[in-house]
């Protein structure tokens, strides 16, 4: 089974071709990603109208290139999947409409994919991961702990009550004068900083329900930065390192609560999966590895390129759904909000 996947929900335009391997798992035949970071950098964040225009400009070419790299024609495909939300509505409409049009023209099954479901299932692309597992989804728009019981069968155990963790990274970077997107910048600068210099709050620490909160932490960083202004590079590095240390502690504590709740509601937790752009952060990856090895959990972290937004995850979610007989018709509308 070979699928084309299209992703346009935020600031990445992406198209990929993935094949289902006979032994299970998938093979990525092409994975084209065009990042719009340069377009948005001057504004310090994603501008929805600019994002939509950029998707229109590159999507056709990207799909063409993905098909060429994979050495397949539209006719050879077994289905076409497009992210139908949640995300910025202009971009979602563009990718979804393109996917529907191609499926209609080539007379192929069409699957409208939930972007969050795609993140949730990506870890299975490599093969050898069975349900159920605990998913920590940490991106620019979402921070959630989800029990993944099967395709289309998700139980949200906890989520952020305010900012997403990636959003907190981006906002802290902005207030410290670092460019967008802030996550990788904060990580880079934090390497040179002293994580013990500022004792920032660890929000929600010890709470039994595995929820998250990052807006108080972000405010604490802002107040401290104002207090010690003007900021020299070493102060910025210390602020970044102390902020990142607080995020790491919070994530590990919330995960501990998540594993407990998973045990009570779903059954023994054997594997945990991390997905979303923030999973690219090495300090966070190291802390999760330590936590999982101490707790006897198998940790599955997809490669960085599959943690951030991409088309392969959409194609793979399409394969997982069509395999179960799930497909969609041309009336499927874009969904700016679409909880798992």
Positions in the binding site for ligand KG4 (CB under 6 A): 10, 139-141, 166-167, 169-170, 181-184, 187, 276-278, 280-281, 308-309
Per the structure block, which two tokens stand in for 83?
């992210």
Residue 242 Cβ, how far from ligand KG4 at the closest point, in Å?
Answer: 15
Q: Please, which residue, 141 or 210, has the CB nearer to Zn ion?
A: 141
297 is in an annotated binding site: no
Q: 167 or 238, CB closer to ligand KG4?
A: 167
Residues lying near Zn ion in the complex (CB under 5 A) are found at 139, 309
The CA–CA distances, whole Å, from 100 to 111, 205, 249, 313 equal: 9, 45, 44, 18
Q: Beta-carbon neighbour count of residue 257 at 10 Å?
A: 20
Q: Nearest approach, Cβ of 134 to ligand KG4 (angstroms)?
A: 18
CA 68, distance to chain mean position in Å, is 27
Q: How far is the CB of 115 from ligand KG4 (least distance, A)?
A: 7
Q: Is 139 annotated as a binding residue?
A: yes
Question: Binding site annotation covers 249?
Answer: no
| DSSP codes, 24-82 | SSEEEEEEEEEE-HHHHHTTTS--HHHHHHHHHHHHHHHHHHHHHHHT--GGG-SEEEE
Q: Establish whether 140 is an annotated binding residue.
A: yes
Element (DSSP H or E) covering residue 264:
helix 233-265
170 known member of a binding site: yes
User: CB of residue 49 vs ligand KG4: minimum separation in angstroms?
Assistant: 18
Minimum gap (Å) between residue 264 Cβ and ligand KG4 = 29
- d(Cα 88, Cα 70) in Å, to the nearest integer? 29
Q: List, in sequence order, every residue forming a beta bridge with 27; answer none if it has no partner.
A: 19
The token duo for 139 is 């991106």
Question: By the 8 A CB rule, do 126 and 25 touch?
Answer: yes
- Choosing among Zn ion, ligand KG4, none, which partner's interface includes residue 166 (Cβ < 5 to 8 Å by kind)? ligand KG4
CB count in 10 Å sphere of residue 88: 23
Around Cβ 150, how many Cβ atoms within 10 Å? Answer: 11
68 is in an annotated binding site: no
* Nearer of residues 191 and 330 to ligand KG4, judged by Cβ: 191
Pick 169 or 316: Cβ nearer ligand KG4: 169
Q: Which residues does the annotation place in the binding site for substrate? A: 137-141, 170, 183, 187, 281
Q: Which residues does the annotation place in the binding site? A: 115, 119, 137-141, 170, 183, 187, 281, 309
Q: Which residues does the annotation place in the binding site for Fe cation? A: 115, 119, 309
């Amino acid at each position: 089974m070979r699928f084309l996947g299209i992703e346009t929900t935020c600031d990445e335009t992406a198209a990929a071709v993935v094949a289902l391997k006979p032994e299970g798992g998938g093979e990525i035949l092409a994975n084209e990603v065009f990042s719009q970071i340069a377009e948005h950098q001057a504004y310090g964040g994603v501008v929805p109208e600019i994002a939509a225009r950029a998707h229109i400009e590159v999507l056709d070419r990207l799909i063409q290139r993905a098909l060429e790299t994979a050495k397949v024609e539209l006719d050879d495909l077994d289905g076409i999947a497009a992210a139908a939300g949640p995300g910025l509505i202009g971009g979602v409409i563009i990718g979804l409409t393109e996917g529907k049009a191609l499926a209609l023209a080539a007379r192929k099954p069409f699957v409208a994919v939930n972007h969050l479901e795609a993140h949730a299932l990506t870890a299975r692309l490599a093969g050898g991961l069975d349900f159920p597992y605990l998913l920590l989804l940490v991106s620019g728009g979402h921070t959630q702990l989800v029990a993944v019981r099967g395709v289309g069968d998700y139980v949200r155990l906890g989520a952020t009550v305010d900012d997403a963790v990636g959003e907190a990274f981006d906002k802290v970077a902005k207030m410290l004068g670092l460019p967008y997107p802030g996550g990788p910048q904060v990580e880079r600068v934090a390497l040179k900083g002293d994580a013990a210099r500022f004792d920032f709050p660890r929000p929600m620490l010890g709470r039994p329900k595995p929820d998250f909160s990052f807006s108080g932490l972000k405010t604490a960083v802002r107040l401290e930065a104002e207090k010690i202004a003007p900021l020299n590079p070493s102060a910025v590095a210390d602020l970044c390192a102390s902020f990142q240390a607080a995020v790491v502690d919070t994530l590990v504590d919330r995960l501990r609560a998540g594993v407990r709740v998973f045990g009570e509601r779903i059954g023994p937790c054997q594997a945990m999966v991390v997905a979303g752009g923030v999973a690219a952060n090495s300090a966070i990856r190291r802390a999760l590895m330590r936590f999982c090895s101490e707790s006897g959990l198998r940790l599955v972290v997809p490669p960085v390129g599959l943690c951030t937004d991409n088309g392969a995850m959409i194609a793979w979610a399409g394969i997982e759904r069509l395999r179960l007989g799930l497909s969609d018709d041309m009336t499927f509308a874009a969904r700016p909000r679409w909880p798992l």
